[in-house]
Chains A and B, each alone.
Chain A
Amino acid sequence: MRLGKLYVDGLGVFEGESIGRDVVSQGELVFNTSPSGYLKSITDPSYSGQILVFSFPFIGSYGVGEEGESGRPRVRGVVVNHIPEILKEEFSSYLEKFGVPGIITKETRKIVDFIRVNGNKLGSFSENRFINPYSSNLIDETIEDAVRKEGELLLIDLGFKRNILKFLGDYSVSIIPYDQFNPRQIEKVDGVIVSNGPGDPEFSDLNEMVRSLKDVIGKKPTLGICLGHQLISLSVGLKTEKMKFGHRSINHPVEDIFSGRIGITTHNHGFTVVYDKQEGVRERYRSLNDGTNEGLEGKNFLTSQFHPEGGPGPTDELGVFEEFRRMMREH
């Protein structure tokens, strides 16, 4: 057994069995309470820059054969309470292959409690030195697909999750990295998806993109998911702010304000849109846990802060994809 160390800013150092690659790695510490889909979480590009603490203590129970949300792990590291003995080697090798460190510690609940009380703090594997991930461009490290040009839909890639495409499987999708996007590209497509992705929506590298979105909103049916929702919100004049410790789980109840229905949804966000009344923009979805905004709608656009595609988690998507289709049909 190899020993590893995890430093938590403000809490101290945790020693435990080291898994994966034994490297120095820093990030923001976040936790997720889902018992299933650990591999999907690890490979979710929205976790870029973050060290993921699993609240559920029995991680790895069905191996690593699950299809990921991207081609490789995106987290800066993994903190787990326990991995079943017969599956530990497999799990560790998987992380090792992609150069990601991990640690097994009985103290995961202590770390979770610390984050809940104090907000997201920084963590570091092996070295007592912390680096704030939000000072660098996290999206660039997640974009992997070669640019796909021809398609009925245009997906602006900020680190999209593969499951999104599964829900739109009957369309051909052209995928354009956010920094190669320009509004002329929307002319030939039926609709535009602004994808999820990591980091701060007000990060300077995204400013230009937010500006160009202004030329898209209202013109073509547009769906924004997670970071995409936040960027569209910024483009219509709303503000975003960092949350205390964010929402990252698969069990969040969200209310569809329009229908009164609730859905259990997957969340993965550390920032939230501050909604105030705005011409042409209605608040469509709201968190039933803390009342924060979970989506907007307006002429030809619909956004969701939650992940209607699940991956991991439920797909009680509250009709998000269905409405997007309707919008495109009616456009």
Chain B
Amino acid sequence: MSIESLPRKILIIGSGPIVIGQSAEFDYSGNQAIKAMVKEGIEVVVANSNPATIQTDRREGIRPKMIPLNLESITQLIDDERPDAILGTFGGQTGLNLLVELWKSNVLSSRNVRILGTQPDVVNVSEDRLKFKEKMQEIGEPVLESFYCSTLQDSIKYSKQIGFPIVVRPSFTLGGSGGGIARNVEELRSIVEQGLFLSEVGSILIEKSVIGWNELEVEVVRDSVGNKIAVCTMENVDPMGVHTGDSIVVTPFLTLNDFNYQKIRNSALKIAENLNIVGACNVQFAFNNGTGEYYVIEVNPRLSRSSALASKATGYPIARVAALISLGRKLTEIENTVTGETNAAREPAIDYVVVKCPVWPVEKFPEEDFKLGTQMKSTGEAMSIGKTLSEAFRKSLRSTGMLHKRVNFDETLLAIPNPEREPQIMEAHKHGYDLEKISSITGWNKLFVSELITAFEEENSSAGFSIVDTCAGEFDVKTPYYYSSNPGKKIQGDVIVLGGGPITIGQGIEFDYSCVHVSNSLRKKGYKVIMVNDNPETVSTDFDESDFLIFDPVDFETVRNVIQNSTAKYLVPWFGGQRPINILKRIQQEFGTRIQILGTSVDSIDTLETREKFAELMKEMNIPYPEYNFASLDSFTEAVKKLSFPVIVRPSYTISGAHMAILKSQEEAEEYLKFHGRFVREFLVEKYLENSIEAEIDGVSDGERVMIPGIIEHIEEAGIHSGDSISIFPSINIANHIRETMKEYTKLICKRLNIVGPINIQFAIKDNVVHIIEINPRSSRTFPFVSKISGVNLSELSVDVLFGGKIYENSGGTELIGVKVPIFPFDKLKGSDVVLGPEMKSTGEVIGIGKDLKHALFNGYRAAGYDISKEGVIVSITSKRINEYLGIIKIINDSGKVIYSTEGTHDRLTKYGINTVKIKKIFEGSQNALDMLKLGNISGVINILSENYKSEADGKLMRRACYERRVLYMSTRSQAAAFAEVIANPEKISAQPIKGLK
């Protein structure tokens, strides 16, 4: 493509909210592509519904559009913005599916929008398993015996030809949703039914299982003239059968000899060639190290989680190169930005070993069976670099918390892949199992077992840093990055910024967003930034986002090495979430004045994080807060009585969601104690502010004044974790004087504790009384959301005050309303109970923006995948509370929706003059609420339960069915009221053009 034919304006589709299987890696890869395009002078429009992304920032040459990622709104966007090209391979499976949809519906051809990079017909071949299989057979690449089925009957028929065990893979789903391994017909039946439902095209593939084989991946980059290289080889430590996203992975191939190594590499290149990939792709193999046989498992014709890992593991900027390739550049015409001299056609060489280790939200979902299989369940990952495998392993054990994890040895658990397999292997070793035996039970190669055991036993001695340079020393380098290893070199740098580490629930991409801004602001001020983070899926670990990137666990050991082997004078820990805050005390104890922790003092942090000190402070300042008591088994009943019901109880020694409950009566308390008393000895009992409104403030304080851009109001009541609640910014339903009180409290606290930097305070408002329920003296999850709506860059402002800057303005202004809608992983975690409570369960969020709440919510619902234009609404409300809902149901009914209701509700609504269709409760048999949902014409379910066992069981089923079918589930009055507000007068709202923040 010559310069003249470069596109003028390009639309890049992002990946939307963070979900299991699609994490922050697409913000990183999309952002690299955007930077490359802008540098070429092309105007870039970015569509992404996820506000916690760098790619949706307003920057020179970039027009971010935070809109729902669906055919309708992207089509509208194309009409508004008139791009002449589109790139759909940088937004994960979401972006790719959307690209194919736009292509199939002729939206692109009719508007002369050119598709850059790998073309949709290629995507069609690689994504449709039957076509893929045919293509592979045509080019002589081995694929597994398999059959494509669109009915259950077919799958049973073919299963006889293949023989069990059989793998079931649905076509076109996210993160392999709905797949599984069937060992017999019964298992096959249930997995196939689910798979057929989840597949967007109603098809699944059943195939011969290669469980126990070695799983390999090769990352390939190919240009439009057919030049191609294998950027990185990756070997899964966990054998086939465990989703690669849930596997521990090492780079490069370690157990393959050169003959096999090249065989797999050649196959990957041949496939990229024959599929006509233009850009990046990832090829997965099953490999038998004994016989040398292999099968091609799948190809991802796009940027992926693996390509992010491959980039960070080798230093080769795959996304940037793929973006330039999509513009027609040849590999030989693209510079290697790390070495600054050679071209992008050289395969990277590494002089270290890399380990990727996933993390799972085990503690958030105590009911879930975290046995690992073909359904990915991890939320994030840590990448570790070492000169040896054991060194890299040790770092990953530190980062994922497995190093000191205590487990009871259990041989049966050793045989089942699960999140605690590393400590289980170590225990087996302590119990005298030899390598051979552990290897045969776990399916891990002996080399991996042995290196893991060494990792547990040997502390890394790190003195200084080694470098990642893409060439293992063969060339001089311009912008390398670093990892701790001995012997190492000292680095320069002024300010250490601590990142967030692996993404877990509650420790998400929002923190990376802030870290990137902080790094930018610091560099603008002329400081050299040392960024510490080991999450390969992030923008902050892109090599040019800081001056010295340290790719190591965010923990004390790393920080010690940085302090001792760099010229850094300052530490900024406030933007990486809770993880960096937890090590501050130790840093101060060990290093005192040798490193200056900028901003709020460690003593103030301690006051806020120690329960007794916090309560003392609140009392002293005369600020209401929920009363609490610590209790033992013996004093439990008394402690609960003192506070009066309802109360929230949790174990006092852990922040896990297990054994946490809201108790409303003496009977419930006794029940709770009878069951949980067997596991828990010490409790924290806290007054629960029932039916209160929850609100939050994000601000930046200079110790005197506080910048408060506005108040975030939650739709869900207090008691549901703030991260799981739909949030409105700026608040519109809270009375002025209440807002003023919240602001006043914030200012008083900041002054009292001399808070310098970011602050987040959570409030519960009950009967017009403002209570403070939590104070986080750090950047919060809502920083990007608030920054984007208010236009106040809170991270940048924080950097100013950290270096002595003063706050002059103290409030932001916006004419728009934003809502943040949480996204939950219940469709991936099938065993978990779909219930919201004090423990956070959402993995990500989408944003809806509008001129008023109604429009914002409408967009928010759509961005979250809820289709509220469907005709029906199911209503089931306990008779005790139905009166509160009559008005709401009336509005819904008047808006033209058909109300389906269960018996009691039906009678009551009919009496009130609302037309409803009577349906059965789930336990009453067929033609019930669940069947209605399956028919698929339902836009929402309002389910207000009575407190008896049967309706509780009904509730569970209903909630799960709703989440799996993306139907809005409402269990509180405020949720139902918001829904009613949005759908009232629907014709007016759909006539409004959908536009993101300007």
Contact = CB atoms under 8 A, between A and B. Distances in A.
**A and B from one complex:** yes
Interface of A: 31, 33-37, 39-40, 55-58, 61-62, 65-67, 81-82, 84-87, 106-110, 112-113, 116, 249-253, 255, 260-262, 264, 288-289, 310-316
B352 A57 contact: yes
B258 A55 contact: no
Interface residues of B, number: 49
Given A61-B255, A67-B259, A310-B262, A56 B229 contact: no
Choose among B353, B450, B451, B474 the residue with the greatest number of A CB atoms under 10 Å from its CB.
B474
B266 interface: yes
Given A57-B351, A82-B387, A33 B471 contact: yes
Contacts of A116: 473-476
Contacts of A264: 229-230, 345-347
Given A55-B473, A57-B388, A289 B346 contact: yes
A253 B252 contact: no
Nearest to A37: B258
Contact of A58 (B261, B389, B466, B472): B389
B473 A31 contact: yes
Contact of B473 (A33, A67, A87, A250): A33
Choose among A57, A87, A110 the residue with the greatest number of B CB atoms under 10 Å from its CB.
A57
A86 B435 contact: yes
Choose among A67, A107, A252 the residue with the greatest number of B CB atoms under 10 Å from its CB.
A252
B335 to A, nearest CB: 12
B425 interface: no
Contacts of B466: 109
B265 A314 contact: yes
Nearest to B257: A66
Choose among B347, B471, B475 the residue with the greatest number of A CB atoms under 10 Å from its CB.
B347
B349 A34 contact: yes
B346 A252 contact: yes
Contact of B387 (A35, A37, A58, A261): A58
Given A62-B447, A85-B450, A313-B258, 4 more contacts: A81-B387, A249-B349, A253-B332, A315-B266
Contacts of A262: 227, 331-332, 345
B953 interface: no
A306 to B, nearest CB: 13
A260 B225 CA distance: 9
A50 B263 CA distance: 29
B483 to A, nearest CB: 12
Contacts of A65: 257
A262 to B, nearest CB: 5
B262 A33 contact: no
A133 B252 CA distance: 34
Nearest to B476: A116
B253 A289 contact: no
Contacts of B109: none
Contacts of B487: 106-107, 110
Interface string B375-416: 000000000000111000000000000000000000000000
Contacts of B454: 85
Contact of A253 (B265, B266, B345, B387): B345
A35 B252 contact: yes
A253 B353 contact: no
B626 interface: no
Contact of B472 (A55, A107, A110): A55
Contacts of A33: 349, 351, 471-474
Choose among A31, A36, A250, A289 the residue with the greatest number of B CB atoms under 10 Å from its CB.
A36
Contact of B450 (A39, A40, A86, A252): A86
A183 to B, nearest CB: 36
Nearest to B349: A33
A37 B352 CA distance: 16
Given A81-B387, A82-B388, A106-B486, A36 B447 contact: no
B957 interface: no
B812 interface: no
Interface string B454-474: 100000000000100001111
Contacts of B476: 116
B256 A62 contact: yes
Contacts of A253: 229, 331-332, 343, 345-347
Contacts of A67: 259
Contacts of A85: 450, 454
A99 to B, nearest CB: 24
Nearest to B252: A35
Contacts of B256: 36, 62
A314 B257 contact: no
B446 interface: yes
Interface string B218-246: 00000001110110000000000000000
A58 to B, nearest CB: 5
A33 B352 CA distance: 11
Nearest to A311: B258
A253 B316 CA distance: 15
A169 B454 CA distance: 45
Q: Which 3 A-B pairs have the closest CB atoms?
A: A37-B258, A33-B349, A251-B347
Contacts of B450: 84-86
Nearest to B331: A262
B473 A109 contact: yes
B283 interface: no
Contacts of A316: 269
A36 B258 contact: yes
Contacts of A250: 347
Contact of A288 (B225, B265, B346, B353): B346
Choose among A58, A110, A264, A311 the residue with the greatest number of B CB atoms under 10 Å from its CB.
A58
B396 to A, nearest CB: 16
Contacts of B252: 35-36
Contacts of B387: 57-58, 81-82, 106
Nearest to B435: A86
A66 B447 contact: no
Contacts of B102: none
Contacts of A62: 254-257, 447
Given A36-B252, A81-B387, A288 B332 contact: yes
A269 B176 CA distance: 47
A81 B472 CA distance: 13
A35 B387 CA distance: 12
Contacts of B346: 251-253, 264, 288-289
A55 B474 CA distance: 9
B349 A55 contact: yes
B261 A37 contact: yes
Contacts of A37: 257-258, 261
17 contacts: A35-B252, A35-B349, A37-B257, A55-B349, A55-B474, A61-B447, A84-B447, A85-B454, A86-B447, A249-B349, A251-B348, A252-B346, A260-B225, A288-B343, A310-B258, A312-B262, A316-B269
Choose among B257, B265, B352, B447 the residue with the greatest number of A CB atoms under 10 Å from its CB.
B257
B586 to A, nearest CB: 29
B220 to A, nearest CB: 11
Contacts of B230: 264, 314
Contact of A86 (B229, B446, B473, B486): B446
A107 B466 CA distance: 11
Nearest to B341: A289
A84 B389 contact: yes
A10 B347 CA distance: 31
A251 B349 contact: yes
B350 interface: yes
B184 interface: no
B342 interface: yes
Interface in B315-340: 331-332
A302 B231 CA distance: 29
A113 B473 contact: yes
Contacts of B472: 33, 55-56, 112
Contacts of B342: 288-289
Contacts of B257: 36-37, 39, 62, 65-66
